[in-house]
Amino acid sequence: MKKELDFNKTVAELVEEFPEFQQAMAEIGFKEITNPMVLNVMGRVMTVPKGVAIKGMKLEDVVRELEARGFTIKQDEAAAAHACGSCGTHEPHPHVHGEDGCGCTHAAAATGATDGEATGRAAVLKGFLERLSAGESLETVRKDFIKDFASVSAEEISAAEQQLIEGGTPIHEVQKLCDVHSALFHGHIGGTTPAADAAPEVQDLPDGHPLTVLNLENKGLSELLDRLSAALEASDMPGLSRGLGELHAIYSHYGKKESLLMTLLYRYGVTGPSGVMWGVDDEIKAELRALMKSLGDGIGGEEERYSAFFQRIRDMIYKEEKILFPLTLRFFSEEDWLMIYRDMPEFGVAFIKDAPKWAEGDAYVAKAEAKERKMIASGKVRLSTGEIGCKELEAILNLLPVDITYIDKDEMLRFFSNPGQVFARPRIALGSKVYNCHPANIVPIIEQLVADFKAKKRDRMEIYRYIKGKPVGVRYLAIYDENGEYTGAVELVEDFSEALAQFGEKK
């Protein structure tokens, strides 16, 4: 029997067609394929070229290995398209490369279209978004959209928004239209599953998987929004006040989404949706603070404002479930998800009592921690003023009432200690550009600060303000070597509550 592989098919389809293909891919370097969960979830949307791109491998090398094992590759228009010189994927159009490899969106993998068709669909979608940006009514644009599209994939929306930004549209302009974009695509993103109901891919994930937890939080958030809407309609001030207080848990939910999912998507070159959603998250949090502050004055005349606020949160739930979560499943590896699972407790839980456990994740965490303990126990640091064991040094850092974060001269996040936990610090962010760990509106400030440090226009910046009701100092200090060369920067974050209380007692 001829073993001809069609790279337009998903990995799961190829395994079903040729069971021996699974072992072949594992031997070539795709060991994750032997995990039933990975094959069932990611394998149903991942193609060989896309998997090669994410792994940072060359497609021609993988093809050579497959041919050596008796497979042939189907030659068609899609497979014969120009290959990317970096990742070996077949895309006849420019695509984005992240710091750790190619970030090709491959809308074709999700739609079943050829790469050329997917490029055309993304261009048409971009045209719809541009019409909205120019002020055309949602009703008119949506009417034309429905005529051309039965459904769109998360990748296609990602590609369209990313093309808008790369084409010169400021991210804050795309952000302003984020809710309009959602309304345009509503009910046409990969099916008609209602908001807060997990997409089929998420439903297949095990208990405790990061996306399972985030989906449970969204369900809890949806129920809270129902209670808030009922309280608003009944002019129930105590119920509204109580519900808005509970809504503060959204900081935890958005924190996990932004620091764990979006930061990693940036690394894969998927920047558009992450940057836009992060900005909208900040607007939602700002509106929550404003409503809490004004609640004492009553809600007379503010009913529409409250309703619009609740609806905006519902729209974000929809965008998470239909765009962000499916995108992460397309790009993230099993190792990525395990690392995310390890970091999630740093952010707490939101709108649910407890997060379910993931057996595979717990095993990974135990193994990683044991490895780190062994490495730290035997390590030593030798400085000009003496020598200290890594274990003792870590213990000292954890005693200091200050959180320390270090970025190197290339703006890569390299180290943090976080005993005060003023801000959550995920391990998965290590090795990322510092700009990818912040919302788009903050990035220009960071860029200017780093530029000033390098040019020696200043060597520090200090900010003192209340964060989550606590007096917090944030200091940024430039680091120079003995020759005066810039080698990086350190951020020091400290909660001064205890110190101020001590001063108050001694007045």
- Residue 90 scores a pLDDT above 60: no
Is 259 in the same domain as 404? no
Residue 223 lies in a domain: yes
Question: 486-495 and 403-408 as β-strands: parallel, antiparallel, unpaired?
Answer: antiparallel
- Helix, coil or strand: residue 46: coil
Give the integer Cα–Cα distance in Å for 418 and 400.
9
Is 224 in the same domain as 341? yes
List the CATH number of the domain containing 286. Answer: 1.20.120.520
Give the integer Cα–Cα distance in Å for 324 and 181.
14
pLDDT tens track for 150-161: 566 666 666 666
Residue 101 lies in a domain: no
Q: Which two tokens stand for residue 323?
A: 């765009």
**Could you please report the per-residue DSSP string of 243-304?**
HHHHGGGHHHHHHHIIIIIIHHHHHTT--HHHHHHHHHHHHHHHHHHHHHHHGGG--TT-HH
Is 282 in the same domain as 409? no
pLDDT band at 185 (very low <50, low <70, confident <90, very high): low
Most confidently modeled range among 159-163, 278-282, 306-310, 377-381: 306-310
Is 224 in the same domain as 179? no
Is 217 in the same domain as 313? yes
pLDDT at 221: 98
Residue 378 lies in a domain: no
Residue range(s) defining the domain that contains residue 268: 202-356
Residue 129 lies in a domain: no
List the CATH number of the domain containing 410. Answer: 3.30.450.20
**Could you please report the per-residue DSSP string of 317-367?**
HHHIIIIIHHHHHHH--HHHHHHHHHHGGGG---SSS-PPP-HHHHHHHHH
Find the mean pLDDT for residues 151-178: 66
Q: Which two tokens stand for residue 36?
A: 């039933």
Residue 240 contacts residue 305 (beta carbons within 8 Å): no
Is 174 in the same domain as 209? no
- Residue 116 scores a pLDDT above 60: no
The set of residues, in sequence order, having a beta carbon less than 8 Å from that of 430 and lying 6+ positions away, is 413, 414, 415, 416
Q: What is the pTM of this model?
A: 0.71
Please, which residues bridge with residue 415 across strands? 406
The set of residues, in sequence order, having a beta carbon less than 8 Å from that of 111 and lying 6+ positions away, is 117, 118, 121, 153, 155, 156
Is 269 in the same domain as 167? no
List the CATH number of the domain containing 13. Answer: 1.10.3910.10
Is 211 in the same domain as 147? no
Is 143 in the same domain as 209? no
pLDDT tens track for 206-236: 999 999 999 999 999 999 999 999 999 999 9
- Residue 458 scores a pLDDT above 60: yes
Is 226 in the same domain as 352? yes
Residue 365 lies in a domain: no
pLDDT at 107: 36
Residue 125 lies in a domain: no
**Could you please report the per-residue DSSP string of 364-429?**
HHHHHHHHHHHHHHH-EEEETTEEEEHHHHHHHHHHSSSEEEEEETTSBEEEEE-SS-SS---GGG
pLDDT band at 30 (very low <50, low <70, confident <90, very high): confident
Give the integer Cα–Cα distance in Å for 330 and 337.
12
- Residue 472 scores a pLDDT above 70: yes
The set of residues, in sequence order, having a beta carbon less than 8 Å from that of 335 and lying 6+ positions away, is 32
End-to-end Cα, the chain, rounded Å: 89
Is 145 in the same domain as 62? no
More reliable by pLDDT, 461 or 11? 461
pLDDT tens track for 45-84: 678 887 787 677 888 899 999 999 999 998 653 344 334 4
Q: Total structural domains in the chain?
A: 4
- Count each helix (H run) and each strand (E run) in the chain, helices first: 24, 11
Residue 92 lies in a domain: no
Give residue for tokens 């809504």.
247
| % of the chain with per-residue pLDDT over 90 | 51
Residue 164 lies in a domain: yes
Give the integer Cα–Cα distance in Å for 457 and 477.
12
Is 178 in the same domain as 214? no
pLDDT tens track for 330-381: 889 899 999 999 999 999 999 999 999 999 999 999 999 999 999 999 899 9
- Residue 100 scores a pLDDT above 80: no
Find the mean pLDDT for residues 292-317: 91
Most confidently modeled range among 113-122, 309-318, 320-329, 475-484: 475-484
